[in-house]
Amino acid sequence: MTAYLRALAAEWTKFRTMRGWVAAVMIAAALIVGLGLLPGLQGSCGKHGPGSECVAPVGPGGEEVTDSLTFVHQALTGDGSVTVRLTGLTGELPGEPGKPRSGLVPWAKAGLIVRGATTQGATYAAVMMTGSHGVRLQYDFVHDVAGRPGGVSADAPRWLRLTRSGDTLTAAESTDGTAWTTVGSARLSGLPATVEAGLFVTSPQHTEEVDVGLGSGAMGGPSHATGVFDRLALAGGWQGDAWKTDVIGAQVEHGGGAGGPGGAPDAPVAGGSVGPAAGRVSGAEREGDTFRLTGSGDLAPSIPGAAGVGVTITSTLVGTFAGLIVVVVLGAVFVTAEYRRGLIRTTFAAAPHRVRLLAAKATVVGGVTFVAGLVAAAVVVSLGQDVLRDNGVYLHPASTATEVRVVVGTAALLAVAAVLALAFGTVLRLGVTAITTAVVVIVMPYVLAMTVLPTAAGQWLLRVSPAAAFALQQASPAYPQVANIYTPANGYFPLAPWAGLAVLAAWAAVAFAAAAVVLRKRDA
Amino acid sequence: MIDIVRAEWTKLRTSPGTLALLVGVIVATVGVSAAASACSGTGCDADLPKLGLTGVQLGQAVVAILGVLVIGHEYGTGMVRVTLTAMPRRLHVLAAKAAVLAAVVAVAAVPAVAGAVAVSQLMLPDHNVVLRPAVGSVLYLVLVALLALGTATAFRSAAAAIGTILAVLYALPIVLAVVTDEEWRDRLRRMGPSTAGLAVQATTADAVTGPWKGLGVLALWALGALLVGAVLLHRRDA
């Protein structure tokens, strides 16, 4: 142990007294902070006087949500149920101005809903037919239970039923109105005695991936869906009022159109838009017992990305890869410089236990880059948020736990990458080859995935290459029930954060073991 | 001058790593192009000739190593002092190195790019071979090598030079991916050596910069690096 500490002290002295290496650490930190604070992103939040601040509704779980729908409802006190037959679900996608195309987005929704209130962000449970994901029970924005697949038409209608019993809502569906299948049930704590319940239709933002010069971008806009309902039947404590129509969350269209790969960091377009290009307009009509509802928007967590709004704290860390290049060069040179000058022979003469020496080197270079990365990431994540907000960019707030994971994760990414580069340097001995190998293996997969590669190839690279550890920087979860373009450029990585770090750590462990073996076997 | 070129050619020819690096250029370019051509689905069919030349993204790294090593290795071993004693006209030495390097890289880049085109032609039969992106890619690789040579001459250290080159080549595309301000994105794309230079591969309309204009930007970068290297080589101790 004391021998290891002596080796550690010797390596620390070597590192500390090389002006270029200390400068490299400073440069890496400066790149991470500097690139993060560059005024690259611009938005319009709060830039147009009072009322233009971007505020998203907050759901029951405290998360930001999108809550826009066309809602035909009346009050229900206590227990009760509502049953309806859905005979049609059609939609309209954004197209050329004035010429919308017909078509249904996969997560267009039409069905029954029970809400705690008509205000945005209220607790709810809903059973619905979707555009192409069959019957679903969804509640409180983030929960999604799959029912049977299938579509709906006049020839193949679908019955839906939602039953309240205390705090529990049970969803059922049927293809003939007699044989019922339970989809699932949801417990909504804090549901008031009197709730608003009835029919709803909504249709999320339509996005398609397009190739724009370097990398892929996204374009799209609001879509509309129309659901046709009949045979509405009520049971239980209904108040017997007339049906009321509300278009919740209706907003004038802000954005849409082509957005860059970074998404549209603009005002939250909460959906429910009445765009000038839209042939259909949100609202409801009633003919006898038939209700025809048209809606636009979504009932879902509000997320960043091409189909969502704003950015996350991940955007403040764009400089990481630049700092990573410097750190990787440093890690490789920390050992190849000794080979270049022949110092390695002196080092081995003084400390003959070669693997212990390699461990000491790894500790020094890993420790130094971890501390530098920690400071740089902490500074840029806290200051960068202010810069983005001052520029009018809508920034999704991150929980403290997420912020800590992103900051510590960035530091860990840099430290483990430095150790990996050190191992490459030990095996290859020649500085140029080691640096290039390290940059190509560690940094280039990230660069390629972020820019030129098609999404599938890029995601594969970010699963298997050391760059998988960039997953530590993901600040917003991906939801399967929200259609979005979940690409690295939008801040979504294919692996879970710590799984990503594990991939990098595995690379480092294998390379370190190889370095230890060749170091013992070879002449210096 | 012809003697200096012959001396540089002998040095490059007999260096143990040269052949491996040249083979590496070909393997990297063809291999990554083949991997990219295996893609199917949305976004893949936008610009097939460009997709088939994706391997240049990796090939340029190998070319940069070669460019850096041509002079960086001499500084590493102290050989540069022998070279400059034998051939005191330093600018002629740099010019000879540039000429030999450009020729050697071109010789490796032609089969690399041709192989990439052939492979993507086999895997994506509905794409037409377009001459300009292929010829432009060969010139791109030559210019990257010269940029690396100039940088290494200025830095006198192979390690620092290769780190800088790779940062310059790969940093800008990432910065661009997160800059959503259109004006800044266009400005940076027009100025970056790799982003502007690779515009020569685009066969779909590129509003930001023209293909040859983009390659011209990279040529300016290479020329600038060589000039800085030449001035420093002329004025400084080796």
Q: How far is A464 from chain B (nearest CA, A)?
A: 15
Other Cβ atoms less than 10 A from the Cβ of A520: the count is 11
Q: Give the pLDDT score at A422.
A: 95
Q: Which residues of B touch A209 (CB under 8 A)?
A: 42-43
A153 in helix, strand or coil? coil
Is the pLDDT at A95 greater than 80? The verdict is: no
- Residue partners of B62: CB distance under 8 A and separation at least 6: A436, B21, B24, B25, B28
Min Cα–Cα distance to chain B from A450, Å: 7
What pLDDT does residue B54 have?
Answer: 84
Return the pLDDT at A30: 93
- How far apart CA A153 and CA A138 sit, in angstroms, is 22
pLDDT of residue A378: 95
Find the largest Cα–Cα distance for chain B: 60
Q: Which residue has the higher pLDDT, A512 or A58?
A: A512
Portion of chain A with pLDDT greater than 90, in percent: 36
What integer pLDDT is reported at residue B206 of this predicted model? 62
Give the mean model confidence (pLDDT) for residues A424-453: 83
Sign of CA dihedral B39, B40, B42, B46: positive
* Amino acid at site A205: Q
Is the CB of residue A83 less than 8 Å from the CB of residue A159? yes
pTM of the model: 0.79
Q: Is the pLDDT of residue A270 over 50?
A: no
Closest CA relative to residue B48, chosen from B135, B115, B121, B113: B121
Distance, in Å, from the CA atom of A174 to the CA atom of A188, rounded to the nearest integer, reads 24
Are A344 and A357 in contact by the 8 Å Cβ rule? The answer is no
- Residues A432, B72: C-beta atoms closer than 8 Å: yes
Q: What's the mean per-residue pLDDT of chain A?
A: 84
Q: How far apart are CA A399 and CA A385, in angstroms?
A: 13
Question: What pLDDT score does A404 carry?
Answer: 94
Residue A268 pLDDT > 70: no
C-alpha to C-alpha distance for A233 and A230, rounded to whole angstroms: 9
Using DSSP's 3-state secondary structure scheme, residue A218 falls into strand
> In this structure, what are the phi and psi dihedrals at residue B224, rounded to the nearest 5 degrees?
-60, -45
Cα dist. A138→A3, A109, A119, A142, A493 in Å?
61, 10, 18, 8, 25
Higher-confidence residue of A305 and A387: namely: A387
Q: Who among B36, B64, B178 is closest to A40 (CB)? A: B178
Spatial neighbors of B34 by CB under 8 A, at least 6 apart, are B55, B116, B119, B120, B123
Give the pLDDT band of residue A275 (cuts 50, 70, 90).
Answer: very low
Least confident stretch, A14-18, A184-188, A221-225, B102-106? A221-225
Beta strands in A97-193 (DSSP E): 99-102, 109-115, 124-130, 135-139, 143-146, 158-165, 168-174, 181-187
Q: What tens digit of pLDDT does each residue of A452-470 get?
A: 677 777 888 899 999 999 9
Considering only CA atoms, which of A53, A2, A154, A91 is closest in space to residue A293?
A: A91
Q: How confident is the model at residue A374 (pLDDT cuts 50, 70, 90)?
A: very high
Check residues A456 and A257 and name the one with the higher pLDDT.
Answer: A456
Rounded mean pLDDT, A371-393: 90
More confident residue, B149 or A39: B149
Among the partner residues A210, A325, A448, nearest to B166 by beta-carbon distance = A325
Q: A266: exposed, middle or buried (C-beta count within 10 Å: 0-12, 13-18, 19+)?
A: buried
Segment A386-399 shows an average pLDDT of 83
Q: Do A435 and B162 touch (CB under 8 A)?
A: yes
The per-residue pLDDT for range A340-361, each reduced to its tens digit, is 778 888 888 888 888 999 999 9
Q: CA-CA distances (angstroms) from residue A436 to B121, B158, B194? A: 30, 11, 17
Three-state SS annotation for B78-119:
CHHHHHHHHCCCHHHHHHHHHHHHHHHHHHHHHHHHHHHHHH
Closest chain B C-alpha to A511 CA, distance in angstroms: 20
Answer whether B135 touches A (CB < 8 Å).
no
Of the partner residues B54, B68, B180, the one whose CB lies closest to the CB of residue A432: B68
Asked if B42 has any chain A CB less than 8 Å from its own CB, the reply is yes
* Residue A279 pLDDT > 60: yes
Q: How many CA atoms lie within 13 A of A235 on its CB side?
A: 8
Query: ipTM, 2 decimals?
Result: 0.71
Check residues A215 and A74 and name the one with the higher pLDDT: A74
Question: How distant, in Å, are the alpha carbons of A66, B83, B197 from that of A282?
Answer: 16, 79, 49
Q: Cβ atoms within 10 A of the Cβ of B27, count?
A: 16
Euclidean distance between CA atoms A298 and A113, whole angstroms? 13
Task: List chain B residues with CB under 8 Å of A325.
Answer: 163, 166-167, 170-171
Answer yes or no: is pLDDT of A254 > 50: no
Distance CA A318, CA A385 (A): 13
Residue A138 pLDDT > 90 = yes
What is the per-residue pLDDT for A277?
43
Sign of the CA dihedral running B190, B195, B198, B199 = negative
pLDDT of residue A349: 85
Find the angle CA(A90)-CA(A134)-CA(B40) to the nearest 5 degrees.
Answer: 85
Measured CA to CA in angstroms, residue A498 lies from A173, A473, A484, A503 at distances of 40, 10, 23, 9
Is B180 an interface residue toward A (CB < 8 Å)? yes
Residues lower than pLDDT 70 in chain B: 39-46, 126-127, 177-180, 205-208
Q: Is B44 in Cβ contact with A454 (below 8 Å)?
A: yes
Q: Give the confidence band of A40 by pLDDT, cuts at 50, 70, 90.
A: low
- When mean pLDDT is compared across A103-107, A158-162, B44-48, the lowest value belongs to B44-48
Low-confidence winner among A68-77, A260-269, A453-462, B126-135 (lowest mean pLDDT):
A260-269
Residue B174 · residue B194 · CB < 8 Å = no
More confident: A28 or B123? A28
The pLDDT of residue B138 is 95
Interchain contact B125–A (C-beta under 8 A): no
Block residue for tokens 């569906």: A173
Query: What are A507-518's pLDDT values in tens digits?
Result: 999 999 999 999
The CA distance from B201 to A69, in Å, is: 46
Mean pLDDT of A30-37: 88
What are the structure tokens assigned to A215, written together? Answer: 């990398």
Single-letter code of the amino acid located at A333? V
Tokens describing residue B149: 């040579």
Name the pLDDT band for A260 (thresholds 50, 70, 90): very low
Q: CA nearest B175 in A: which residue?
A: A318
Is A393:A310 a contact under the CB 8 Å cutoff?
yes
What confidence score (pLDDT) does residue A271 get?
A: 37
- A298-308 per-position pLDDT tens digit: 888 888 876 66
Q: Which two tokens stand for residue A347?
A: 């080092």
Selected for mutation to probe chain B from A25, A432, A486 (highest B CB count within 10 Å) is: A432
> How many residues does the structure list for chain B?
238
Residues of A in contact with B68 (CB under 8 A): 432
Report the pLDDT value the prediction gives residue A345, as an integer from 0 to 100.
86
Highest mean pLDDT among A269-283, A422-436, B27-41: A422-436
